[in-house]
Amino acid sequence: MISPKILAEGALSRQGVAQRIDKRSPVPLYVQLEALLWERIKSGEWKPDHRLPSEDELAREHGVSKITVRQALRDLAAAGLVRREQGRGTFVAAPRLEQGPRELTSFSEEMRKRGLRPSSLVLERDVIPAGPSVAEKLQLAESEQVFRLRRIRLADETPMGLQTAYIPSRLVPGIMDEDLAAGSLYEVLGRKYGLTPARAREIHSARLVAPEEARYLLTLEGSPALAAERVSFLPDGRPLELVYSVMRADRYQIVLELVRSGA
């Protein structure tokens, strides 16, 4: 990422970023290139979803190697300023959606509140034995049947993440007949089964996008992701749903507002 120290010292000052690479400068070439590309994004010349020139084009334009270009783009992607899509190129990233303490809502509700159109692509839907891990989290016997739903979650037709949900089958008879691509799973649970989660426990972690996930999310293998495990509970305390999510870190960020208590 662009070093604040370098910027502060004026080598690549915001008051006048150099218009070309200076190979005599002590500033690394990839850092200079980062600053040049960052300035074009910051100035509005390159707007969200604008496709950047190819690595070859950037290398020729700035007189640097493709290795230098890749390092600059990798750092800009890690900072959430661009996104790299497998087989398509590098694009200016849209502002990341903030996640933090909030009401218990579905992905669809959350996207609508932000003015985005939610949709899903169903990858798998079946009924399977719970197995050890799922059974433990849903407080079931390992042989008990669960409904499994795996979907790509999209906002304005852009992949945001992958989600796999598990629900005890005895709670949702006939759910295999429902259209779960167009609507919210929570809406179906409430409308058809009278099941509304009262609370949930989420565990978040950071990891890298796996090869299969990269294909579905239109991003690069090894790019940063935010993973989450959520268990939702009914008002009587019974577990309703277990969901594993992998969200693109270039589209999501977690924001916590902390209040100090006590002395």
Domain ranges of the chain: 4-92, 97-254
Q: Please state at what angle helix 29-42 crosses helix 66-78, rounded to 10 degrees.
A: 50
The pLDDT assigned to 66 comes to 92
Q: Hey, how many other C-beta atoms are within 10 angstroms of the C-beta on 58?
A: 21
Q: Is the dihedral of CA 175, 102, 225, 32 positive or negative?
A: positive
Tell whether pTM > 0.85. no
Say whether pLDDT at 151 is over 80: yes
Do 232 and 104 form a contact (C-beta atoms < 8 A)? yes
Say whether pLDDT at 154 is over 90: no
Say whether pLDDT at 167 is over 80: yes
Q: Are strands 97-99 and 252-254 parallel, antiparallel or unpaired?
A: parallel
Task: Using DSSP, state whether 244 is helix, strand or coil.
Answer: strand
Q: Which residues pair with 245 in a beta bridge?
A: 163, 228
Q: Which CATH number fits domain 97-254: 3.40.50.2300, 3.40.50.720, 2.60.40.1840, 3.40.1410.10?
A: 3.40.1410.10
Average pLDDT value for the chain: 81
Q: Give the pLDDT mean for 239-258.
A: 82
The pLDDT assigned to 88 comes to 86
**Per-residue DSSP letter, 89:** E
The pLDDT assigned to 166 comes to 97
**Per-residue DSSP letter, 62:** H
Say whether pLDDT at 145 is over 60: yes
Q: Would you say domain 4-92 falls under CATH 1.20.1250.20?
A: no
Q: Is the dihedral of CA 163, 194, 105, 260 positive or negative?
A: negative
Distance of CA 57 to the CA centre of its chain: 28
Q: Give the pLDDT mean for 151-163.
A: 86
Specify the length of the chain in residues: 263
> 247 versus 13: which is more confidently predicted?
247
